[in-house]
Structure 1
Amino acid sequence: MARVALYARVSTNKDQTVDNQLLALRDWAAGRGHTVVAEFIDQGISGAKGRDKRPGLDDMLKAAVLGKLDMVAVTALDRLGRSLPHLITTVGELEALKVGLFVRDLALDTSTPAGQLMFNVMGSLAQFERALIRERTMLGLERAKKQGKTLGRPKVSPGKEQRIAALLKAGTPINRIMRLAGVAKSVVYRIKKEAEECPATTN
């Protein structure tokens, strides 16, 4: 029998609670003879947010690192995350810690050979998806070049660069220069760096 942590999440507080998720997972754990050692909740938090914005998920993974559980149980994969890459990363962390994952609506248990095979397939699909996106991006850039389109950010005119340099020399704060010149912070820092490396000479 395993020490199980239950994880539940809802995106909004309105008309949604984690109670039904937890009840279903408790019933599953009791039916298998598992011991529920902890319950972690993220209430009103989107699954698209990372671990740093989801305290329940973060605490659960910390408990896994400390060896306090053998398995994590959720009602559905989208409770863990909304994107396949994020899911693969989270499950990869659990796998490295030898912590299994049970997903109720899929009857998926990664501690079994069949469950592990399914997640390996999902990981391959995620990698394939990234390769397709990269290929489409490269084809799009190549097509834009053939059409004579200028790629990248618009160049800053010499006059504007001189104005930014003057404002820097006068000690104007970076954020104010950005507003006055209508440029990104990176542009201001680039001009600042160039001025420091090649200071103006006086005759």
Structure 2
Amino acid sequence: MLIGYARTSTLDQTAGLEAQLLDLAAAGCERTYVEQVSSVDVGERQELARALDNLRPGDALVVTKLDRLARSMAHLMDLLKVIDGKGASLHILSMNLDTGSPTGRLMLNVLGSVAQFEREIMLERQREGIAKAKAAGKYKGRAPTAKAKSEQVAELAGQDVSLSEIARRLGIGKASVHRILKAQKEIAATA
């Protein structure tokens, strides 16, 4: 059985999702699992987990592109272990690749390694560019969001609002709330 998996990162990408569904149907997928969630939110990819759970020996998980499935080479290898463990294979339509053959597995490893290499080179260039911009005084990073809300944190804490509730109301982390209150106590102790 061919089991399809389609994913987009946001709800706004309906055209991309529709294109994936059309391609998966044209490939002959009998069942397709669909979700709209970032690849980074691995814990949130429930439909991928369901697709993997439903694989049986001889089945194939079909995706339109590799980036719809895995976020890194390590993640891809973890997914392949699960797929292989089920006696199934992975088909990537855009690459015309099937891991059910030794050649397909080799090609996937080579292409995945090249993609990871490109990503690492891009990140290295980005770090170098940021360092140059900082040295030139043109890059200051993002503005701290929690410190800008110190007065609101103090006000809510004075109203006996819990740390969790303060964090939720202000859209900052609980650790940031704790850090702000601790700093304010230290300032008050030295004054």
- Shorter-chain TM-score bucket reads 0.5 to 0.7
Distance 1:170 1:143, change over 3 A: same
CA distance in 1, matches of 2:32, 2:153: 49
Q: Do structure 1's residue 174 and structure 2's residue 162 form an aligned pair?
A: no
State the 1:171 CA deviation.
2.2
State the 1:153 CA deviation.
3.9
CA distance in 2, matches of 1:177, 1:193: 19
Identity %: 26
The letter for the 2-side match of 1:124 is: S
CA contact (8 A) 1:73 1:102 kept: yes
CA distance in 2, matches of 1:95, 1:21: 23
Q: Deviations over 1:46-98 (max 9, x none)?
A: 5865663452x32121234xxx3344142x533x6437636873464133542
Distance 1:100 1:150, change over 3 A: closer
TM-score (norm 1): 0.59
Q: Do structure 1's residue 101 and structure 2's residue 87 form an aligned pair?
A: no
Distance 1:163 1:9, change over 3 A: closer
Which structure would you say has the larger Rg? 1
Q: Which residue of 2 aligns with 1:77?
A: 64
1:85 is paired with a residue of what secondary structure? coil
Q: Which residue of 1 aligns with 2:75?
A: 89
CA distance in 1, matches of 2:82, 2:168: 48
CA distance in 2, matches of 1:161, 1:48: 31
2:54 is paired with a residue of what secondary structure? helix
CA distance in 1, matches of 2:152, 2:57: 61
Q: Deviations over 1:102-136 (max 9, x none)?
A: 34565422121210111011221222122122212
Distance 1:9 1:97, change over 3 A: closer
Q: Do structure 1's residue 25 and structure 2's residue 12 form an aligned pair?
A: no
CA contact (8 A) 1:47 1:82 kept: no
Structure 1 unaligned runs (5+)? Answer: 27-38
The letter for the 2-side match of 1:77 is: T
CA RMSD of aligned residues (A): 4.4
Select which of 50, 62, 74 maps to 2:53.
62
CA contact (8 A) 1:72 1:100 kept: yes
Q: Deviations over 1:136-176 (max 9, x none)?
A: 221122112221245334368x9974664354233245158
Distance 1:136 1:85, change over 3 A: same
Q: Do structure 1's residue 189 and structure 2's residue 178 form an aligned pair?
A: yes
1:25 is paired with a residue of what secondary structure? coil
CA distance in 2, matches of 1:160, 1:16: 43
1:122 is paired with a residue of what secondary structure? helix
Aligned residues: 175
CA contact (8 A) 2:150 2:180 kept: yes
TM-score (norm 2): 0.61
